[in-house]
A and B are shown apart, each in its own frame.
Chain A
Amino acid sequence: MLQEIPTSYCYLLSAIVFIIGAVGAITRKNAIVIFMSIELMLNSVNLVFISSGNAFASMDGSIFVFFVMTVAAVEAAVGLAIFVMLFRMKGTVNADEASLMKG
């Protein structure tokens, strides 16, 4: 049979992915890419849920993942709508363009 991957590896991977996502979210300029990085973070979360759910042999983890994915999808939809509004207004989806309000 196939060898089971140790849960700790999954944690490590997820942590790496999470950090990559976080860094991406604060370095990239394009709002859509920023959002994609955030999705990346969510996926790292899913990874933890699945692996530890597997480790504890409990379904909760996978159920949670369902909801995370759904929410991610909905956020994607809302996000795209907002980006479209931003695009209509500024002609670009560069996150830095939205800085009317400060102080």
Chain B
Amino acid sequence: MADYIWLIPLFPAVGFIFNGLFGTKISKGAVSWIACLAVFLSFLTSVAIFFEFLQLPADARVFEINVYSWIASGEVSIPLGFRVDALSLVMAMTVSGVAFLIHVYSIGYMEHDPGFKRFFVELNLFVFMMLTLVTGNSLIMMFVGWEGVGLSSYLLIGFWYQKDSASDAGKKAFIVNRIGDFGFLLGIFLLFFTLGSHGVWTLNFGEIHKSAHLLNGNMINLITFLFFVGAMGKSAQIPLYVWLPDAMEGPTPVSSLIHAATMVTAGVYMIARLNFLYSMAPTTMMVVATIGVLTAFFAATIGFAQYDIKKVLAYSTISQLGYMFVAVGVGAYSAGIFHLMTHAFFKGLLFLGAGSIMHAMSGELDMRLMGGLRKKIPVTYWTFFIACLAIAGIPGFSGFFSKDEILWKAFSSPHGHIMIWMLAALTAGMTAFYMFRLFFGVFYGDCRAPEDVKHHIHESPKVMTVPLMILAFLAIAGGYLGIPHVLGGANLFDQFLAPVLGGGHGHAAAAHASAGFSMVSSAWASTAEAGHGGEAALEMTLMAASVVTALIGISIAWLMYVKNTGMPGKFVAAFPGLFKVVNNKYYVDEFYDFVFVRGIMKAGGVLLKVVDIGIIEGIINGVGALLQWIGGGLRKFETGFVQQYAFGMILGAIIVVGYIVFAPLF
């Protein structure tokens, strides 16, 4: 079965080509279902391979097939093909699975769009590229997919090209990604030639792994850093995240598929795929973790200041990606991939839910004009609720398991640091806050929508709600693949990925803790040395801490957005203590409001303006403008007068002759 790995990207490619060629001939329904079928088949294939793998011993779970041999330069030739192992399989299943649901959803969502067929063609193209990226067996394949997803996401973001904002957003995404790709490409070159200088001409992951020891420390740090620059671009990390919020201009399914579930995670996948290199590059890992946690925190603060529900989700995506980078940055690759997967579920769900809300509110995006929708669109409401709980990291939901594993690793792993843990945990609380701010704002209180909208608020059709339900199920169940040992789980996920990502030794993590940098962690670790019990206690405590932070975040949100509207009793029962405290001291509301809302909203707003728009966009647009200006200046030399051209030639000739004749003298 594994020999058929190449089928996985092939199906969407076929769908793309077929619909692209004959789409105009056949009906809308046919186009959409062909597209869905193509993706579904990829999903089936990957699942089949997955079950085949379960039969095999762990170390036998890798298979490569070379499609053709690609010449890098002159005599050096590189076999290109596909590689299936635990990692690429997880990615393939996640991508194709989520993509399939979103395809189905789009049938309903895009129904009345004139570009219906084009949409599915481009979706298939994207899925094809994404699957190529995750199943490729060499950096070249990865780069092809990398560029491919960039291109197709550019098409999809700009899907409603009639809106200038849309096509500009598309362009912005493309250009910013090119900057990242530039780093990525340089990294590939550097790796290729440093290995080549040792006589190993290869870009194949397996062979790179074999000969990685040939590289010296600085070189690896440089190479891995260049790769990370690429990841910054694709996965929207500081400072290259600016394109992602704008990318919300695209249709909501696109935001859901590309900017939540799949493409933006490519960077994480790449680092996980090259984990053997990163493990040899402590400096880079520190950079990765730091950038990751900063992004997570920074994006969360901005999330406070947003009213546009898709913008909120966009910034939360950036923030969650930050988490994944923290994970891979501290060497907890499987945790990163785990969070990647769960995030794909609940964030995909959140976006589709947002789409469903827009559908109900006839395209409205401003949460200030919503509210009280929970009765009117129950399915969306419940699924959205589940997603929020998941992203907030409430025990029992997938987000909890993945996020807490990351937090624990951030604390305990030798690459980790107490500061990272603190920021990450704080971010977890903030995430919970703004997600529920959104949730309450949309579904509770009384409806602030204009009358005409209010009338035809309606639940979305089955074709949209069913995917929501499935994703909701996954958003809960997905987590149980990776129940940490401390909770009596076996962390199957970690073990499944172990052959590729190392890890698979949950207990060992604590042993590393002694190597943690800060006083605190080592203090903890000393207790941890006591043995499994102490380590478990530590892990439990941290877990509790983060859960409490999340709950605090939620309750604040609730206090500010629900309390005055009188909330469901069971919700009160959830936090009786906290409720009493807050209720008895009424002005605490204002206090919270002042501290959290005004303060942080201002901060977020300021950050948004100064950093986001001011500095980063300034740089990006500035360079473009500068070049344009120079170009305009250079044009003036093309005067159109033939003799001035001749004069230019004479000057050139004088320079050339002068240089060549006199250079030897110096």
Contacts and interface: CB of A to CB of B under 8 A. Distances in A.
Direct contact of A and B (CB under 8 A): yes
Interface of A: 22, 25-27, 29, 34, 95-96, 98-103
A80 to B, nearest CB: 17
Contact of A99 (B636, B641, B650): B641
Contacts of A99: 639-642
Contacts of B636: 103
Contacts of A22: 650
A25 B638 contact: no
A102 B638 contact: yes
Contacts of A96: 641, 643
Given A22-B650, A102-B638, 13 more contacts: A25-B643, A26-B643, A26-B650, A27-B643, A29-B643, A95-B641, A95-B642, A96-B643, A99-B641, A102-B639, A103-B635, A103-B636, A103-B640
25 contacts: A22-B650, A25-B643, A25-B646, A26-B643, A26-B646, A26-B647, A26-B650, A27-B643, A29-B643, A95-B642, A95-B643, A96-B643, A98-B642, A99-B639, A99-B640, A99-B641, A99-B642, A100-B640, A101-B640, A102-B639, A102-B640, A103-B635, A103-B636, A103-B638, A103-B640
- Across the A-B interface, give the 6 residue pairs with the lowest CB-CB distance, nearest first: A102-B640, A99-B640, A103-B635, A26-B647, A26-B646, A26-B643
Interface of B is mostly: helix
Interface in B623-652: 635-636, 638-643, 646-647, 650
A102 B640 CA distance: 4
Contacts of A95: 641-643
Nearest to B645: A26
Contacts of B635: 103
Interface string B105-138: 0000000000000000000000000000000000
B640 A34 contact: no
Contacts of A103: 635-636, 638, 640
Contacts of B646: 25-26
Nearest to A34: B643
B133 to A, nearest CB: 42
Interface residues of B, number: 11
A95 B647 CA distance: 14
A95 B646 CA distance: 12
Interface in B174-197: none
Contacts of B643: 25-27, 29, 34, 95-96
Interface of B: 635-636, 638-643, 646-647, 650
A96 B639 CA distance: 10
Contacts of A34: 643
A101 B640 CA distance: 6
A21 B642 CA distance: 16
A34 B646 CA distance: 11
Nearest to A38: B646
Contacts of B642: 95, 98-99
B421 to A, nearest CB: 59
Nearest to B634: A103
B610 to A, nearest CB: 39
Contacts of A100: 640
Contacts of B639: 99, 102
Nearest to B632: A103
Nearest to A22: B650
A29 B644 CA distance: 11
A96 B642 CA distance: 7
B73 to A, nearest CB: 38
A78 to B, nearest CB: 16
A27 B646 CA distance: 10
A22 B653 CA distance: 11
A94 B470 CA distance: 79
A41 to B, nearest CB: 11
Nearest to B648: A26
Chain A CB within 10 Å, residue with most, of B635, B636, B640:
B640
Nearest to B636: A103
A96 B638 CA distance: 13
A96 B644 CA distance: 10
A22 B649 CA distance: 10
B595 to A, nearest CB: 59
A103 B632 CA distance: 9
A19 to B, nearest CB: 10
Contacts of B641: 95-96, 99
A100 B635 CA distance: 14
Contacts of B647: 26
B233 to A, nearest CB: 34
A25 B639 CA distance: 17
A29 B643 CA distance: 8
Nearest to A27: B643
Contacts of A101: 640
B290 to A, nearest CB: 48
Contacts of A98: 642
A98 B646 CA distance: 14
A103 B638 CA distance: 5
A99 B644 CA distance: 11
A29 B642 CA distance: 10
A100 B642 CA distance: 11
A98 B639 CA distance: 11
Nearest to A31: B642
A64 B102 CA distance: 74
A90 to B, nearest CB: 13
B465 to A, nearest CB: 58
A30 to B, nearest CB: 11
A96 B640 CA distance: 8
A25 B644 CA distance: 10
B661 to A, nearest CB: 13
A11 to B, nearest CB: 15
